[in-house]
């Protein structure tokens, strides 16, 4: 029998998606993660009070995590195999950090067409 991500976690994902309470809790967990990360970044960089940079950087990282979680859930529900999901998430994660590293300023320009995951 082919090992799929769905057989390993499909029931959990469907339960999570069917429950407004569990979805809200998952959202709250990411909000708490973002706040804690922003505080750590502010502390580690000695950011001045009121500097939005730690909050913005934390939000960028948590947004990447949220996107990866969304893609993983969709792949699990499609029944994609675990190795396929892992490769896809790795490419997506690598691309997200390329965009952060190089900036997104030129992403949507005509000369940037064709660049993607």
Angle in degrees, CA 96, 62, 41, rounded to 5:
105
| Residue 1 confidence (pLDDT) | 44
Q: What is the pLDDT of residue 111?
A: 54
pLDDT of residue 10: 85
What sign has the CA pseudo-torsion 78, 76, 66, 25?
A: positive
* Average confidence (pLDDT) per 10 residues, the chain, 117 residues: 56 90 95 97 95 95 96 92 93 93 76 53
- Domain edges within the chain: 5-103
Which DSSP string corresponds to 41-104? HHHHHTPPTT--HHHHHHHHHHHHHHHHHHHHHHHHHHT-BHHHHHHHHHHHHHHHHHHHHH-S
Whole-model pTM?
A: 0.78
């Amino acid at each position: 029998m082919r090992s799929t991500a769905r057989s390993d976690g499909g029931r959990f994902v469907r339960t999570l998606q069917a429950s407004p309470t569990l979805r809200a809790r998952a959202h709250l967990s990411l909000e708490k993660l973002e706040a804690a990360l922003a505080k750590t970044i502010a502390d580690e960089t000695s950011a001045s009070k009121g500097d939005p940079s730690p909050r913005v950087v934390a939000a960028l990282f948590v947004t990447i995590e949220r996107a990866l979680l969304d893609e993983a859930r969709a792949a699990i529900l499609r029944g994609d195999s675990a190795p396929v999901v892992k490769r896809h998430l790795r490419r997506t994660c690598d691309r997200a950090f390329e965009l952060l590293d190089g900036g997104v300023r030129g992403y949507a320009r005509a000369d940037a067409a064709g660049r993607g995951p």
